[in-house]
Amino acid sequence: MYDFIFKPFNEMTEADYERVGFKSGLEIHQQLLTDKKLFCRCPARIYSDKYDAEILRHMRPTLSELGEYDGTALMEFKTKKNIIYRINRETVCTYEMDDTPPFLINEEALDIGIAVGLMFKCKIVDEIHIARKQYLDGSIPTGFQRTSIIALDGKIPYKNREINVVQISIEEDACREVSDIGHERIYKTDRLGMPLVETVTAPEMKTPVEVAEVAQICRFNVRTTGLVRTGIGAAREDVNVSVTGGTRIEIKGVSQIKNIPLLTYNEAMRQWNLLRLREELLKRGITTDTFKATKHDITKLLKNPHYQPIVNAIQNGLKIKCVVLKGFYDLLHWQTQTDTYFSKEISDRVRVIACLTSIPNIIHSDSKGETLTSSEWHSIKKVVNATDDDTVVIVWGDERDSTTAVEEIIIRAREATIGIPSETRQALRDGTNGFERILPGPQRMYPDTDLPPKNIPQERVNKIQSDLPKPLWALEKYYRSIGVPEDCIIPLAISNSKKLFELTVNDWKLEPKLVSVVLVQFRKRLKREGVNVDFLDENIMQQILKLLKDKKILKSAILPLMRKFRETKNIECYKEFTPLSDEEIDRIIDKAFIEIKNIKIFKPENYHNVLASLVMKNAVGRIEAGKLIELINKKIEK
């Protein structure tokens, strides 16, 4: 069944992804544009590296309502991390540190969350219930995130079908990680508690490119509201991927949509290759029931090793331990992702759970590179009774961490007989991914007893709906139909200039193509020139376009006027660009005819252009090019 071998990323086809049963869904987290946080009244979005104090915490799992522990919580507890929070008194209060109860939910944030739900054609719930979602990685000091479902059953038009939106939730943002080394993890708390919405789609994307395209639609659709934050870190995607025979794997924290295709390709490849690995183990007679592994302390055996990391470990008094994986010969060199092998699956578990974060943290007898000498491997195998059919994995650390490490090596190797363990994985820069934690289960969620349910009356929903723009796909269709240039459609749809565009086009009857170019392309052109365009707010742009409507300036004057306004900060500077009378133009052309006599023109066909440029240097923005050429031609005929 698993005879298909993944091709390089750029050679994969839709038929290839269909063959492996690729499917993917999205969880998109988008910060909301509010002044305050979600459950306290601290200011939102004041990022700073400055901190006034540090707080140390240790996380412990709690039982769910059914008396069960969440697997992720238990895994995080095994790491024995010291969690350090850097506190800035301007951005956090006692609520974030779990010393006081929450305030009631931020009504502004709730309105924006409802607006986002309506933009995806969702049904808004009539009553919200706040729940707690456990996070024992330390990213939230309370150990849980407050969250609530606010909308269900939405739709995203895509190609010739619709992608279903399962739900939209409103929740608190987490801390920003500073570092994670050994048993110490450090967080900044400036982002903590900021309101965001999570949009969850059904796993209905069939190729990696489709996943990225739907993510872009979701991103731009919420931005059309003008109610969400933009910039680095304001939106983050979690991508769920599976293949036939596999399981849902969540790739966390994808910060750039352009990275999604390669990331999802590599995850599909990883799952497929792990399924092929399971088939290979089965051929060797290794199943979950027949799996065998032994563990050994070989510290005293390695007296004078040649491998420097182990030399350093011995010098630092660390323990050297090994695991014998029976029948696993050459399988740690089994490819999983691009230039990535099964040994990394094991190394990641050791890094994350045993906190042996210095890489390399394991070596193995399947290694093709320089580690121990062949005689050293031979001596170790002899002592631990390993045969040529076995693989030996060596790890080093203090007594506690090395003991945890060998247990995790055995656990991950045994999981290979099952296929694909349910995991949350971290997006890496090279397009591959690494283990982050066990995939959370339903045990992590339980009701929040600090906050009451909140009714959402239909009148509130109707009012929010009445103030919303059309969704992205409707705006695209409309803009395209009235002649807006293709490269202006999305930028215009997600800008704050939509109402100004409608005013100038529908009421003032200005040309849609011209207005969209002014509002989008002219601003971009000034940015490329190094001009800060923040001064060109909607009020100023409206004044400039009104001058055009009232025929006080010409189209050609708009860009020069925008530049001039930056210098003067006075809209009256438009008077420098008032249209020239025919008599004034005639005098300027006559002057140009005199000047051109002193210019050597090598190609006769360039005569008109040179003459026009001489005229325009004295009439920038005050005459349209078409009319100028017409008048020059008439002069030449005379």
Supply the CATH number for residue 349's domain.
Answer: 3.30.1360.30
Domain final residue pick, 549, 577, 605 = 577
Q: What is the pLDDT of residue 568?
A: 84
Query: Which residue range(s) make up the domain with 297?
Result: 292-416
Are 567 and 479 in a shared domain? yes
Domain final residue pick, 525, 548, 577 = 577
Mean pLDDT computed over 381-392: 96
Are 339 and 215 in a shared domain? no
Q: What is the pLDDT of residue 268?
A: 98
258, part of any domain: yes
Residues forming a β-bridge with 295: 323
Are 203 and 272 in a shared domain? yes
Percent of the chain with pLDDT strictly greater than 90:
70
The string of DSSP codes covering 370-428 is: SSS-HHHHHHHHHHTT--TT-EEEEEEE-HHHHHHHHHHHHHHHHHTTTS---EEEEE-
Q: Is 499 left (phi over 0), alpha (psi -120 to 50) or beta?
A: alpha
67 DSSP 8-state letter: S
185, part of any domain: yes
Are 315 and 276 in a shared domain? no
Mean pLDDT computed over 62-68: 62
Q: What is the pLDDT of residue 226?
A: 93
433, part of any domain: no
287, part of any domain: no
Residue 445, Cβ density class (10 Å: 0-12 exposed, 13-18 middle, ≥19 buried)? middle
330, part of any domain: yes
109, part of any domain: yes
Q: What is the pLDDT of residue 53?
A: 93
Are 245 and 305 in a shared domain? no
- Total domains in the chain come to 4
Instruction: Examine the pLDDT at 443 and tell me if it is beyond 80.
Output: no
Q: What is the pLDDT of residue 123?
A: 97
Percent of the chain with pLDDT strictly greater than 70:
90
Peptide bond into 604 cis (omega under 30): no
Are 557 and 587 in a shared domain? no
Residue 217 in contact with residue 472, Cβ under 8 Å? yes
- Calpha distance 559→522 (Å, rounded): 7
Residue 397 in contact with residue 383, Cβ under 8 Å? no
Q: What is the pLDDT of residue 570?
A: 85
Are 319 and 355 in a shared domain? yes
Instruction: Examine the pLDDT at 527 and tell me if it is beyond 80.
Output: yes
Are 87 and 182 in a shared domain? yes
- Tokens, residue 421: 């363990």
Instruction: Examine the pLDDT at 637 and tell me if it is beyond 70.
Output: no
Within 89-199, where are the H helices? 107-119
Give the three-state DSSP class for 148: strand
**Range from 108-112, 227-231, 346-350 carrying the lowest mean pLDDT:** 227-231
Residues forming a β-bridge with 297: 321
Considering only residues 214 and 71, tell me which one the structure prediction assigns the higher pLDDT: 214
Are 241 and 309 in a shared domain? no
State how far Cα 466 lies from the chain centre.
30
Domain final residue pick, 220, 253, 281 = 281
Instruction: Examine the pLDDT at 596 and tell me if it is beyond 80.
Output: no
Are 252 and 333 in a shared domain? no
Confidence of residue 574 (pLDDT cuts 50, 70, 90): confident
Are 251 and 125 in a shared domain? yes
560, part of any domain: yes
Confidence of residue 628 (pLDDT cuts 50, 70, 90): low
442, part of any domain: no
Are 390 and 488 in a shared domain? no
- Calpha distance 214→405 (Å, rounded): 40
